[in-house]
Structures are given as structure tokens and as C-alpha cells.
Amino acid sequence: MRKKIVAGNWKMNENLQEGVALAKEINETLKADKPNCGVIICTPFIHLASVAQVLDRNVVELGAENCADKEKGAYTGEVSAAMVKSTGAQYVILGHSERRQYYHETPEILKEKVQLALANGLKVIFCCGETLDEREANKQNEVVKAELDGSVFNLSAEEWKNIVLAYEPIWAIGTGKTATSDQAEEMLAYIRTIVADKYGKEAAEDTTILYGGSCKPSNAAELFAKPNIDGGLIGGASLKAADFKGIIDAWKK
């Protein structure tokens, strides 16, 4: 049975004190009312070590939002997968469209990052998704397949077990414009078929695939009711404990 997950992506929000307070609030809220799914919060690098101290890992897991494509050395300002792991984090988000778009992360760079993350014992939440122009040209399947082919379909079956996929149509991220549950389901079902082509039906059935893009308490239940949607990667709504909890509670409906 594949794992249901709700993961928060804080992006570049919250200073250290605010981040620790938010993590504590999420942790306390979820300890008081246990979730029906895995919960992960992915924070900026500077929060990781402190947030690690306040989370009960049986309830909330921890992830980074990025890591370097190099192992170690003279790469000023970079943070390696080994450093992320040493904070106590268990996950890292890679391939987010904001990293691809603003920091020019290519499939080749992402392939390196994925390898290093896995080699250092991190699980990877790997994002893929098309732009609005690509969807309007009906190229979404092709784009998503190329992103997976370019960065993660080289992995061994053993390595694949540590991959969570997140489909995030770029036109839905932070725009308030959610993909309909049918659009999301259609893409996630497609992704599952290409995972099955590569790793077999059983592995595909075991792969957690999330939807991301303006997911909120009001639409989460409808999205999560779809058979191929195993949860959400949540940006804006993960910055308020009550909203994040509202999405997590969608698994109880």
C-alpha cells in the first residue's frame, strides 16, 4: 500500500524564530489530533537544524527545499546533500519549477542532485509539471515524461523506492488556479503508467504521487478522493498551521 503524504514547501518564507514557532504549532496540532497520512515540512536550509529539535518524527517529518549538485568543496553558498542529512532532515524537494525557472536547473543538474541526495540517505520529492503554453498545446504528457526521463528514470529499482513524485502544473502554483481534480487525476494516472513501463506495475502501484498547485482546505478533499492522487505538495497554505491541518484532515473525509 503506497504512502499518503501531505508535504509543505515553505519556500523563502519565515525567519528562523517564525519558522521554529510554526513548526512547533504544526507539531502540537498534529500530536493532539493524529493525521491519517504522512506529514512532511520542507523548510529553508537555515531552519532545518532548529526545526529538527521541535518535531516529533512519528508525526511530522522534515525536508529541505533543495541541495547542491556537487558533493563538497569550493562551491561558495551551496549546501550539500550530506549537510542536509546531518541536520536530521529525511527528505529533499528537487526539480521544483521555481528552481528550474529562476535558477536554471536543467534535467542533467537535477539528475546529479537526485543521485547525491539518495547516496546520502535522503528521500527525494521530485517535482514535474508543464507551463500554461505547454498545456494549451496539449504537450503536458510529453513535458512531464521528458522531465522524469531526464532526471529520475535512470535510477535503479532499489533507488526508486526512495522517490516521491509531485505533479505541479506551473500555471497552478501560487496562482490560486488549481487544476481540476479530473485534470490532476488524468496526469497522475499517466505518470503511473510511465512509471509502470519503467519499473513494473507493482513498483508503480507503490509509488506515492502528489498533486501540487494552489491546494487548500476547500479543494483538498476532492483532489485526494481521486484514486491516483496520494496527497499534496503545499506551498502557500503550508505557512498557516490551521490551513495545513485543514488539508491534512482531507484524508479523514
Binding positions for ligand PEP, rule: CB under 6 A = 9, 168, 173-174, 212-215, 233-237
At its nearest, how many Å lie between ligand PEP and the CB of residue 6?
Answer: 11
At its nearest, how many Å lie between ligand PEP and the CB of residue 161?
Answer: 23
The reply, when asked if residue 11 is annotated as ligand binding, is yes
The reply, when asked if residue 218 is annotated as ligand binding, is no
**Quick one: residue 73, left, alpha or beta (phi over 0 = left, psi -120 to 50 = alpha)?**
left
Q: Does 168 participate in catalysis according to the annotation?
A: yes
Q: Residue 234: beta bridge partners?
A: 8
Nearer to ligand PEP, 167 or 251 (CB): 167
Nearer to ligand PEP, 160 or 171 (CB): 171
Catalytic residue among 14, 130, 168, 185: 168
Q: Does 205 participate in catalysis according to the annotation?
A: no
The reply, when asked if residue 214 is annotated as ligand binding, is yes
Q: Residue 5: beta bridge partners?
A: 38, 231
Q: Which helix (H) or strand (E) holds 102?
A: helix 97-102
At its nearest, how many Å lie between ligand PEP and the CB of residue 156?
Answer: 27
DSSP assignment of 106-171 equals: -HHHHHHHHHHHHHTT-EEEEEE---HHHHHTT-HHHHHHHHHHHHTTTS-HHHHTTEEEEE--GG
Residue 188 half-sphere exposure, CB side, CA atoms within 13 Å? 29
Nearer to ligand PEP, 199 or 216 (CB): 216
Catalytic residue among 14, 47, 65, 96: 96
Catalytic residue IDs: 96, 168
